[in-house]
Amino acid sequence: MNIAIIGYGYWGPNLVRNFSSLSNCSLKLVIDGRQERLKIAQNSYPTIEISTNTDDAFKRTDIDIVVIATPVFTHFEFAKKALEAGKHVLIEKPMTSSVAEAEILIELAAKKKKKLMVDHTFLYTPAVQKMKELIIKGDIGKVNYFDSTRINLGLFQPDVNVLWDLAPHDLSILNYLSDDIPYSVNATGISHLKNGIENIAYLTMNYSSDMIAHFNCSWSSPVKLRTMLVGGSKKMMVYDDTEPTEKVKLYDTGYSVNSDEDRKQIYIDYRLGDIFIPKLKNTEALSGMANDFISSILEDRDPLSSASLGINVVKILEAAQQSIKQNGKEIKL
Amino acid sequence: MNIAIIGYGYWGPNLVRNFSSLSNCSLKLVIDGRQERLKIAQNSYPTIEISTNTDDAFKRTDIDIVVIATPVFTHFEFAKKALEAGKHVLIEKPMTSSVAEAEILIELAAKKKKKLMVDHTFLYTPAVQKMKELIIKGDIGKVNYFDSTRINLGLFQPDVNVLWDLAPHDLSILNYLSDDIPYSVNATGISHLKNGIENIAYLTMNYSSDMIAHFNCSWSSPVKLRTMLVGGSKKMMVYDDTEPTEKVKLYDTGYSVNSDEDRKQIYIDYRLGDIFIPKLKNTEALSGMANDFISSILEDRDPLSSASLGINVVKILEAAQQSIKQNGKEIKL
Amino acid sequence: MNIAIIGYGYWGPNLVRNFSSLSNCSLKLVIDGRQERLKIAQNSYPTIEISTNTDDAFKRTDIDIVVIATPVFTHFEFAKKALEAGKHVLIEKPMTSSVAEAEILIELAAKKKKKLMVDHTFLYTPAVQKMKELIIKGDIGKVNYFDSTRINLGLFQPDVNVLWDLAPHDLSILNYLSDDIPYSVNATGISHLKNGIENIAYLTMNYSSDMIAHFNCSWSSPVKLRTMLVGGSKKMMVYDDTEPTEKVKLYDTGYSVNSDEDRKQIYIDYRLGDIFIPKLKNTEALSGMANDFISSILEDRDPLSSASLGINVVKILEAAQQSIKQNGKEIKL
Amino acid sequence: MNIAIIGYGYWGPNLVRNFSSLSNCSLKLVIDGRQERLKIAQNSYPTIEISTNTDDAFKRTDIDIVVIATPVFTHFEFAKKALEAGKHVLIEKPMTSSVAEAEILIELAAKKKKKLMVDHTFLYTPAVQKMKELIIKGDIGKVNYFDSTRINLGLFQPDVNVLWDLAPHDLSILNYLSDDIPYSVNATGISHLKNGIENIAYLTMNYSSDMIAHFNCSWSSPVKLRTMLVGGSKKMMVYDDTEPTEKVKLYDTGYSVNSDEDRKQIYIDYRLGDIFIPKLKNTEALSGMANDFISSILEDRDPLSSASLGINVVKILEAAQQSIKQNGKEIKL
């Protein structure tokens, strides 16, 4: 199988490095509109073909797989063309600019019997894999809350707000860790540029079950925080991605509610216990993602970071944006 | 001037210790319904009178000042009786259970020409004093955002939700640091006890100016966080109250917006600079509060932690609770 | 049993508070040469007798136990008088100014059949108790090294150097945790006051077994560090006393040596594993110490922080001082 | 000027990457005894010649500069041959296995009028450059002590002990920051492999001035620490190389000694003040080193990381090893 990658900007080189090192496929073609970017690509990978014409990815019959690493607003067009041309497609996160676009792509992929995957790389990090493992083993119990903070002094994006930029990481992780399905969102935010693109935003996801999720995203913080709290009915986890090695901490901490029916009272039992910091694997997330994508094609199965996970993320982002524009109003999903 | 303190529970002993050490007033009477609490008070302070009858505070003519450190729902009744009896009054935070109650007390205090103060102790901490000083000096510029996280594994309160319990600290600090007036709030939350009392809640305050404030409060976190980000147009501050000495950090970090009118584009200038950690004073906040209260009476002036600041905090809490119950709907203030 | 405490300076009030709360003995008398200190004592404890005459502790027949919390150079004289008068004796750390003095006291206590104990409070901290427990359970294996850093901007003592001031804590902990007996020490240091009293000092303890211990002590550090590494043949521990709750961390980390006899080569197997942070008890160390002392009298047994542990600490300190004065020369114990 | 690099192991690729990107010289030749290493080099740099024969570096007349990145025990032989052949020479740290070897090389370089430099990369880090700048500006005052901890679970070296492996970094930094010259060392250590190669070692450097330096090096720590305290007569610095951005902290903290001649007493004034964390540059240290080396040839001047600094480091290491083998005895320099 031969691969074409469209987009050699910030993330493209990482994709090229990982796909070119796989043995069960061949990276054939790198496409970018900017000649200077293609020159850099060719210097590093003299054997890979280059082009400034995206159509090469779709029209060339020796290309089986198209990887799309371009700005979000182009994802739909390129992915649609690639699928129509009968290629398997990998799209960078977030999948598309709207749920409608994502639905069309999913339908098209099904019709064409081609794989469509979204690169939510974080799912493949050793830290997230370990959290999933702890949840599956039953150590955490039922997830009761999810609280994420992803803030730093970041590049203001010209076309999408801070939620579209930063929250996909956390939304994909939550989608992966919890089976609960949110029924609505509330979001608030501010645009210090007064261009309608929020640089600080807060998102709450509401569930019919005993669960809440909250996301704090900012491009305007003097400190870089990457913290996730996962509160379970049995234990709790804290995931701090800025820690070099001790990223995941498992707290034998919790509270249980006892109600004394006779006296109509509620008692809470607190528990503060040991902390466990599991050793994490030393694998590169992007390599795991690339492997999963190629294997999902070869084995004709869904990849971990599937299109259905991708559309779930877009659904939340779209609803969140509506909520911000309507002053935090609850938007049903 | 003679003082009576009603309530010798969790906070009462701190008030007794501080007021009894002042030289310009005399702590006469401690009142609590629980005999075993009064016994503890008398062991530590053999010269102070004790009583189980709150009316003693109001009826005794030798009492000039009444300090109220009882559960929130009793604040209004006790403060009203004390003011009507012509006493100066200090109430523990939050001031009252409702804005209506707070308004009645403020009006009554004005009519009776007595001081009415709310004990928002945090205003008197060296850290908050330093932040105020940095703002007044103009180092921060215009405050653009305020982001507070106050979470830990905390005692579930039986009558008020986590916002009423924890947010008053942060709301009073914000009110003290910024002159901006919010026009609405949105809040979301969850009650894991299913008794309608939220143990996790998120609050956004909206401003007509270029400002946003957000509060993350939880009784259900395995880690204790006390972090406040204050983003200014010139510099930014981070206040971490869990740090033993380096509580306030001043970041010479920021971004400014330049718009290129010709090309209708926006450019952002980023700045990542030095960090400055000011030495803080070694004073006890509660002693500063007690001194300010007594001095405000003697000098007939408003204290720092005034009743008008106290009612502002209650306004936000009341609106936040309405918003949570209406699924995060924006509540105008 | 009635207790007299000599010395109501920095540590005395803590001793008075703890001994006065015990039910199986009675704190009768507090002695200090300074009237103003005695006044403070009497204000807090109106029922306890006070005196400026140390002889009262020794001569009064209703006194059974003498607790000595005075400067180090007075320990020997007071403890000797107390033992000769037939009292049980508790001395603050370090036990005495010299090994010779400590030996006389131990002999005297044996002759008089009285308990002689040194207050190495750290042995009773939940953190040290947990480390001992982990060692006894066999989790650590054979202790291979012990590395302690105890530095901060501290009060320069006028009579003893920084090792005599700070190292007793770490030396007592090491003596408690490891059964290995050092055979010599090397120490270096500097006196920035040029009065021969070192404010920075480094101490190495040498063992005939596969073990080394090192202590870094300073009154001249801008940061406060309280860190101890305990390397075992199976696992390693890090004890950070500045951490509010996560004081002891157990690392499933190690290395084992394999030698390939055929090729006369050595291979090292590394292991980097999980980390475990045990929940510590919430007990006060000094209360545990006071209890152990009284119980050791009642049950006629050795206390944990025995005189023989105390003299071991003095032995090291005396040898370390000799080594510093002889330019780091090895001093046999 | 054409460059040959001998050794393409752990550090070689970094040297190749940096020297190949310089514009005022040309990296011609990479030499390594291992074919598989040369293959890797050629894949990454197709235009660079490769060889397994070290003599190529010395005999080829088109080679002007030889860079030596081989095990320590080979440094002398290769550097000597290169200098004799009239090449400029850069050696990886530590310079040689003995002071005698280093002296011969320095003499030879002087005779041949060629540059001889040692790659102590740390001198070129933004953190060390900032510390030097603060010292030159006079902010620190006279350096009174230097305390370095460099410990982690590290690869046991088969031929040199942990001081030869880790301490060169800290010794070169100290040599760069302070003009004081030590007159003796004491060192202690242990070899858990019982092969005479210490995996834990402690080094004290003694000065005739009011200064002391201490180094704690270990391959056997479960935690990675890279901490340096620099105590000055005016202010103090802490350099923590594990911090991602806040590596250097300047403490306005100190103590000054006042002696009351009349009363023969000494008073200490303490000062605990603000903390300043300077923004560091974003430059790569190795690139600065490579630039300095080439410029020092072109401009015929001494580089920062000169051979005389290099031999100073070897002097300390040699003396430290003697001290360890003589049970910590003071070794004069």
Q: Which residues of A touch B221 (CB under 8 A)?
A: 147, 229, 231, 236
D248, D274, D280, D282: best mutation site toward chain B, by most B Cβ within 10 Å?
A: D274
Rounded to the nearest angstrom, the minimum Cα separation between C44 and chain B is: 8
Across residues A13-39, what is the average pLDDT? 94
* C-D C-beta contacts closer than 8 Å: 136
Between CA A2 and CA A22 the distance in angstroms is 11
Could you tell me if D71 lies within 8 Å of chain B, comparing CB atoms?
A: no
Rounded to the nearest angstrom, the minimum Cα separation between A140 and chain C is: 17
Could you tell me if C277 lies within 8 Å of chain A, comparing CB atoms?
A: yes
Write down which chains contact chain A via at least 3 CB pairs under 8 A: B, C, D
Rounded to the nearest angstrom, the minimum Cα separation between C87 and chain B is: 31
Q: Is the pLDDT of residue D262 over 60?
A: no
Cβ neighbours of B62 (radius 10 Å):
10
With CB atoms and an 8 Å threshold, state whether A277 touches C276: yes
Could you tell me if A244 lies within 8 Å of chain D, comparing CB atoms?
A: yes
Mind listing the pLDDT tens digit for each residue in D56-105? 999 999 999 999 999 999 999 999 999 999 999 999 999 999 999 999 99
C-alpha R_g of chain D: 21
β-pair type (C143-153, C116-119):
unpaired
Half-sphere exposure of residue C123, counting CA atoms within 13 Å on the CB side? 25
Could you tell me if D277 lies within 8 Å of chain B, comparing CB atoms?
A: yes
Q: What pLDDT score does A90 carry?
A: 98
Q: Is the pLDDT of residue A263 over 70?
A: no
Rounded to the nearest angstrom, the minimum Cα separation between B112 and chain D is: 46
Rounded to the nearest angstrom, the minimum Cα separation between A323 and chain B is: 10
Half-sphere exposure of residue D132, counting CA atoms within 13 Å on the CB side? 16
Between CA B26 and CA B4 the distance in angstroms is 9
pLDDT-derived band of residue D272, with 50, 70 and 90 as boundaries? confident
Q: What pLDDT score does A27 carry?
A: 95
Could you tell me if C293 lies within 8 Å of chain D, comparing CB atoms?
A: no
Could you tell me if C153 lies within 8 Å of chain A, comparing CB atoms?
A: no
C-alpha R_g of chain A: 21
Mind listing the pLDDT tens digit for each residue in D223-260? 999 999 999 999 999 999 999 989 999 999 887 766 65
Q: Which residues of A touch C240 (CB under 8 A)?
A: none
Q: Is the pLDDT of residue A283 over 70?
A: yes
Mind listing the pLDDT tens digit for each residue in B276-324? 999 999 899 999 999 999 999 999 999 999 999 999 999 999 999 999 9
- Secondary structure of chain B: what % helix, strand, coil (to 5)? 35, 30, 35
Could you tell me if D46 lies within 8 Å of chain A, comparing CB atoms?
A: yes
Across residues A169-197, what is the average pLDDT? 94
Rounded to the nearest angstrom, the minimum Cα separation between B267 and chain A is: 9
Mind listing the pLDDT tens digit for each residue in A49-67? 999 999 999 999 999 999 9
Across residues D293-300, what is the average pLDDT? 97
With CB atoms and an 8 Å threshold, state whether D276 touches B272: no
Q: Which residues of C touch A275 (CB under 8 A)?
A: 246, 276-277, 279
Q: Which residue has the higher pLDDT, B47 or C28?
A: C28
With CB atoms and an 8 Å threshold, state whether B246 touches D277: no
Helix (H) or strand (E) holding B16: helix B12-20
Are D178 and D146 contacting, i.e. CB atoms less than 8 angstroms apart? yes
Across residues C60-88, what is the average pLDDT? 97
Query: Is residue C328 left, alpha or beta, with left meaning phi > 0 and alpha meaning psi from -120 to 50?
Result: left
3-state secondary structure of B262: coil
How far separated are the first and last CA of chain D, in Å rounded? Answer: 38
Are B286 and B18 contacting, i.e. CB atoms less than 8 angstroms apart? yes
Between CA C64 and CA C86 the distance in angstroms is 8
- Tell me, what DSSP letter sits at residue C156? P
How far separated are the first and last CA of chain B, in Å rounded? Answer: 38
Mind listing the pLDDT tens digit for each residue in B15-46? 999 999 898 999 999 999 999 999 999 888 88
CA distances from A225 to A152, B140, D162, D282 (A): 6, 21, 36, 21
Q: What pLDDT score does D317 carry?
A: 98
Across residues A8-19, what is the average pLDDT? 93
Token pair, residue C135, equals 């060692």
Between CA A169 and CA A189 the distance in angstroms is 19
* Nearest residue on chain D to A246, alpha-carbon basis: D223
Q: What pLDDT score does C264 carry?
A: 53
Instruction: Give me the numbers of helices (H) and strands (E) for chain B, helices first please.
Output: 9, 17
Across residues B62-73, what is the average pLDDT? 96
Across residues C175-187, what is the average pLDDT? 96
> ω into residue B94 within 30 of 0, thus cis?
yes
Across residues A113-134, what is the average pLDDT? 98
Q: Is the pLDDT of residue A127 over 70?
A: yes
Residues 171-200 in C contacting D (C-alpha not used; CB under 8 Å): 184, 186, 188-190, 192-195, 200
Q: What pLDDT score does A193 carry?
A: 82
Across residues D107-128, what is the average pLDDT? 97
Q: Is the pLDDT of residue C45 over 60?
A: yes
Angle A37-A40-A45 from CA coordinates, rounded to 5°: 125
Q: Is the pLDDT of residue D266 over 80?
A: no
Q: Which residues of C touch D140 (CB under 8 A)?
A: none
Q: Which residues of B touch D274 (CB under 8 A)?
A: 276-279
Q: Which ranges of C28-184 would DSSP assign to H, the alpha helix?
A: 35-44, 55-59, 72-84, 99-112, 126-136, 162-177
Interhelix angle B35-44/B12-20, nearest 10 degrees: 30
Rounded to the nearest angstrom, the minimum Cα separation between A277 and chain C is: 5
Q: What pLDDT score does C14 carry?
A: 94
Q: Which residues of D touch A46 (CB under 8 A)?
A: 46
Q: What pLDDT score does A232 carry?
A: 95
Q: What pLDDT score does C263 carry?
A: 52
Q: Which residues of B touch C242 (CB under 8 A)?
A: 244
Q: Which residues of C touch A278 (CB under 8 A)?
A: 274
Q: What pLDDT score does C155 carry?
A: 80
Between CA C174 and CA D163 the distance in angstroms is 25
Q: Is the pLDDT of residue C141 over 70?
A: yes
* A-D C-beta contacts closer than 8 Å: 3
Across residues C287-314, what is the average pLDDT? 97
Q: What pLDDT score does A254 carry?
A: 83
Which of C184, C202, C268 faces D156 most closely, judged by CB atoms? C268
C247, C249, C277: best mutation site toward chain A, by most A Cβ within 10 Å?
A: C277
- At residue C41, φ and ψ (nearest 5 deg) are -60, -45
Q: What is the mean pLDDT of chain D?
A: 94
Mind listing the pLDDT tens digit for each residue in C296-306? 999 999 999 99
Q: What pLDDT score does A267 carry?
A: 64
Q: Which domains does chain C have, with CATH numbers?
A: 2-114 (3.40.50.720), 123-283+314-332 (3.30.360.10)
Which of D147, D193, D328 faces C204 most closely, judged by CB atoms? D328
Q: Tell me what percent of the residues of chain A surpass a pLDDT of 70.
A: 96
Between CA C240 and CA B183 the distance in angstroms is 47
Half-sphere exposure of residue A124, counting CA atoms within 13 Å on the CB side? 19
Helix (H) or strand (E) holding A240: strand A236-240
Interhelix angle D307-325/D162-177, nearest 10 degrees: 130
- Secondary structure of chain C: what % helix, strand, coil (to 5)? 35, 30, 35
Across residues B234-244, what is the average pLDDT? 96
Rounded to the nearest angstrom, the minimum Cα separation between D294 and chain A is: 25
Q: Which residues of D touch C242 (CB under 8 A)?
A: none
Q: What pLDDT score does A109 carry?
A: 98
CA distances from B77 to B178, C29, D247 (A): 31, 48, 55
pLDDT-derived band of residue C292, with 50, 70 and 90 as boundaries? very high
Across residues B124-136, what is the average pLDDT? 98
Residues 108-127 in A contacting B (C-alpha not used; CB under 8 Å): none
C145, C184, C188: best mutation site toward chain D, by most D Cβ within 10 Å?
A: C188
Are D155 and D207 contacting, i.e. CB atoms less than 8 angstroms apart? no
Mind listing the pLDDT tens digit for each residue in A65-121? 999 999 999 999 999 999 999 999 999 999 999 999 999 999 999 999 999 999 999
Angle C154-C159-C161 from CA coordinates, rounded to 5°: 55
Q: What pLDDT score does B93 carry?
A: 95
Which of B156, B158, B253 faces A222 most closely, judged by CB atoms? B253
Rounded to the nearest angstrom, the minimum Cα separation between B45 and chain C is: 9
Between CA C275 and CA C138 the distance in angstroms is 16
* Nearest residue on chain D to A45, alpha-carbon basis: D44
Q: Which residue has the higher pLDDT, B254 or D5?
A: D5
What is A126-147 written as a DSSP string? Answer: HHHHHHHHHHHTTSS-SEEEEE
- Token pair 């070794």: residue: D331
pLDDT-derived band of residue B69, with 50, 70 and 90 as boundaries? very high
Q: Which residues of D touch C151 (CB under 8 A)?
A: 147, 229
β-pair type (C116-119, C88-92):
parallel
CB within 8 Å of C6: residues ≥ 6 apart: C31, C32, C54, C57, C66, C67, C68, C69, C70, C78
How far separated are the first and last CA of chain C, in Å rounded? Answer: 38
Q: Is the pLDDT of residue A126 over 90?
A: yes
- Secondary structure of chain D: what % helix, strand, coil (to 5)? 35, 30, 35
With CB atoms and an 8 Å threshold, state whether D214 touches C266: no
Q: What pLDDT score does C157 carry?
A: 80
Write down which chains contact chain C via at least 3 CB pairs under 8 A: A, B, D
Q: Is the pLDDT of residue D48 over 80?
A: yes
Mind listing the pLDDT tens digit for each residue in B154-188? 888 878 899 999 999 999 999 999 999 999 999 99
Could you tell me if C279 lies within 8 Å of chain A, comparing CB atoms?
A: yes
Q: Which residues of A touch C277 (CB under 8 A)?
A: 274-277
Q: What pLDDT score does A46 carry?
A: 83
Q: What pLDDT score does D44 carry?
A: 81
With CB atoms and an 8 Å threshold, state whether A279 touches C274: yes
pLDDT-derived band of residue B264, with 50, 70 and 90 as boundaries? low
- Token pair 């600290």: residue: B169
Q: What pLDDT score does D270 carry?
A: 74
Q: What pLDDT score does A258 carry?
A: 65
| ipTM of the complex in this document | 0.93
Angle C230-C232-C233 from CA coordinates, rounded to 5°: 165
Could you tell me if D279 lies within 8 Å of chain B, comparing CB atoms?
A: yes
Q: Tell me what percent of the residues of chain D surpass a pLDDT of 70.
A: 96
pLDDT-derived band of residue C44, with 50, 70 and 90 as boundaries? confident
